[in-house]
A and B are shown apart, each in its own frame.
Chain A
Amino acid sequence: MGVRGVGDSLAEAFAQVALAMTAIITDPSMVRHTERVDIHCACPDRELLLVDWLNALVYEMACRNMLFSRFQIQIEDGSLSAAAWGEPVERKRHRPIVEVKGATYTALRVNQQKDGSWIAQCVVDV
């Protein structure tokens, strides 16, 4: 399934694509911001950094049994630092649809558009 984020900055596009990934699993508006998890990853290639970022989130979701719906991201010189807010999965309330297995390199694209906005996208395997 494809996910795409658009934002005024690279960091915002990365935050939006993460939100799109949550929307594959559940309605993001149902996910409260009760816990914060910090995530760091680094890669000089922006596109590979996007895959790393999404896969870091997949890992945190799987191991903590959590869903995330708010992201604050900083990206500098290929290094990403993020705070992700969310809460543990409540199956009755969140009604999660499907697990994300991992982010892929398919349809992978990170670039700045003519109007200055950023686009970040790839296909995630579910």
Chain B
Amino acid sequence: MPSEYPLKRQSEFSWRIDPFGKMRVPGIVYADEQLIEAMDDKVFEQLCNVATLPGIVQAAYAMPDAHWGYGFPIGGVAAFDADQGGVVSAGGVGFDISCGVRALRTGLTVDEIESRRTALADALYRHVPVGVGSTGRIHLNEKGMNAMLLGGARWAVEQGYGEPADLEHIEERGCMQGADPGEISARARKRQQDEMGTLGSGNHYLEVQRVAEIYDPEIATAFGLRENDAVVFIHCGSRGLGHQIGTEFLKYMVLAASSHHIELPDRELACAPINSELGQAYLGAMRAAINCAFANRQIITHLTRQVFAEVLPQADLTLLFDVSHNTCKLETHTVEGRKRKLYVHRKGATRAFGPGHPDIPETLRAVGQPVLIGGSMGTESHILAGSSQGEELSFNSACHGAGRAMSRHQATKRWRGRSVVDELGARGIVIRSPSMRGVAEEAPGAYKDVRAVVDAAQSAGLARKVARVEPLVCIKG
């Protein structure tokens, strides 16, 4: 084992670091041997740091796609008990609060869209605001902003963006309770006022994809997926509002840590007791940012439907599900036979409730929550379902994507944007992006193999593979 950390193999797909130093609980990593060997030691260092935080319950977890993050590893999961002095961490949620993925069925097969593929790509690129400096068509005043922050996707549907049926297929039914717009600063509001319904940049994208392979026919049928169906994946988050909230509360929590008698092993782990004024303020602000992300993805869904209605009028875009990656949520979990209410941080990790969980839409409850694993630009993505062992293993959490294998800087040294576009074009994938260097930074080779990640997630028991999808059109931010 090349790692300097004392990793013990618990099973073929799980590894444990027993508590040492100030760790209160063990660290547990779900991965196969190759993924573990490829993980930077920083992942283990960060996992051990998370394990020192007050009120942490059971273990600090890292998912198979874990990589070095800010404070928490990306792909990190940790649950805290408010009654045991547990904390909420702005660093444990991250800057892009509730960044997530939603998947839409189109009601079309690949053959039905093939002749209109380029026209579809061009129309999506024109109609969905994308890239640095893009602004949406919605400009919110104070009252509208507050309504959006409280209502999330429900607000968006009330404004005419989408259909009430969509709400059933979003976490929290599209409206995060406990949001407090009063905790959203003027600066966060200002950053968001022109950004509703924008995709953003970096690794955010909108893709039209084909269902290339079905792994579990029974669950795929429940999800309404068949081989060669065309589907849409939308990956984006809470935009400038979430970034500003993350920035502000990270600083407040760093400055207040000593007054809360919290020793931070890394300033980026900035946190506050859940039962403190600052902890409650952050929860209110973060929940409002979750609603912002829900509303944003809902508006982009509406814009996508408008494009399909124009280019492929026979399409019927229905929402399969919408998952969030960067959140802290109050959930009930059974720990050592006792039900406990815990604040579960998932940073670059997907909630993955198993079959029968009451928070899953009724139509999907028997098979488990859809878990949408976005690949990088131009690579395959995966659809999984939550497992019944997930609660015991990871507070019902799974991986969220492939995870970077090299830095943006390394990627631009290795690839040119135009050649990446041409190469993907030769494989039948149409790319539209405002920035060729941005394309190079997101080149498929800069990421880990997403298939290895989802295979490890399934083998570890975190989720079950349902389908593999491949991109046909990619609108990259």
Residues of chain A having any CB pair with chain B under 8 Å: 1, 25, 48, 51-52, 55, 58-59, 62-63, 65, 89, 91, 95-99, 101-106, 108, 123, 125-126
Contact = CB atoms under 8 A, between A and B. Distances in A.
Contacts of B190: 63
Interface of B: 70-71, 94-96, 131-133, 135, 187, 190-191, 200-202, 240, 243-244, 246-247, 250-251, 254, 266-268, 270, 407-409, 434-438, 441
Contacts of B407: 1
Contact of A102 (B133, B243, B254, B267): B243
B409 A1 contact: yes
B251 A98 contact: no
Contacts of B244: 59, 102
A96 B435 contact: yes
Contact of A98 (B71, B201, B266, B267): B201
Contact of A51 (B200, B243, B251, B435): B251
A98 B132 contact: yes
B267 A105 contact: yes
A62 B409 CA distance: 23
B200 A99 contact: yes
A53 to B, nearest CB: 12
Given A89-B132, A91-B131, A99-B200, A59 B191 contact: yes
B435 A97 contact: yes
Given A51-B251, A59-B244, A105-B250, A95 B435 contact: yes
A52 B250 CA distance: 11
Nearest to B68: A106
B409 to A, nearest CB: 7
Contacts of B70: 104-106, 123, 125
A97 B251 contact: no
A97 B268 contact: no
A28 B70 CA distance: 27
Nearest to B440: A97
Residue among A65, A95, A101, A105 with the highest chain B CB neighbour number at 10 A: A101
Nearest to B435: A97
A97 B437 CA distance: 6
A62 B94 CA distance: 19
B268 A106 contact: yes
A126 B237 CA distance: 13
Task: Please indicate which of the listed interface residues B71, B132, B251 has the most CB atoms of chain A within 10 Å of its own CB.
Answer: B132
Nearest to B412: A97
A75 B254 CA distance: 22
Contact of A91 (B133, B200, B251, B266): B133
A101 to B, nearest CB: 4
A97 B132 contact: yes
